[in-house]
Amino acid sequence: MLSCSCCVCITHGKYNLYVLAAAWLAIAVTLGVVVAQAVFRRGRVTYHRIIGAILLYLLIAVVFGTLFTFAGLSLPDAFKGIAFEDNPALANSVFYLSFVTLTSTGYGDIVLVHPIARSLCNIESVIGQLYPATLLARLVTLELRQRSY
């Protein structure tokens, strides 16, 4: 086992879940900004732009998965059906919840108890519905603008 006084090191075999979630959030937001600039800029609609738009949609789920992790770690019993412990099932559970919410599938096996958890899910579900519509409108506009030249 590694041990040191640094809070980001692995100590006694456990990850600092806050740091791990923050790292996932930083990576997802940074990649999302770069991809969003490429997807929504002016120019032709290409295969790569469409794949980037899909990646951006998936990154939204990753961002909310990390926000759910912060909420679950900070607010005891904010979720029923997810154990916020240091094990591989945690990532599986929060990303599952996030993708189910983003796509409005809502199986109901994870219950949101705390108002902040419910608010995060509401925001994600609205984004999950508006993003595809907004994306389609933007891509059609770009293509029509390109054809008119």
Instruction: For each of the domains in the chain, give its residue range(s) and CATH number, in order of start.
Output: 17-148 (1.10.287.70)
Per-residue pLDDT tens for 1-56? 344 444 444 443 346 899 999 999 999 999 999 999 999 888 888 899 999 999 99
* Alpha-carbon distances, residue 87 vs 57, 70, 71, 136 (angstroms): 26, 15, 17, 38
Number of continuous H segments (helices) and E segments (strands) in the chain: 4, 2
- Residues 17 and 73 sit within 8 Å (Cβ to Cβ): yes
pLDDT at 3: 44
* Alpha-carbon distances, residue 74 vs 16, 68, 131 (angstroms): 13, 10, 29
DSSP element (H, E) containing 80: strand 79-80
Quickly state the pLDDT bin for 96 (edges 50, 70, 90).
Answer: very high
Residue 5 DSSP symbol? S
pLDDT at 65 over 50: yes
**pTM for the complete prediction?**
0.84
Per-residue pLDDT tens for 104-147? 888 889 999 999 999 999 999 999 999 999 988 888 888 888 77
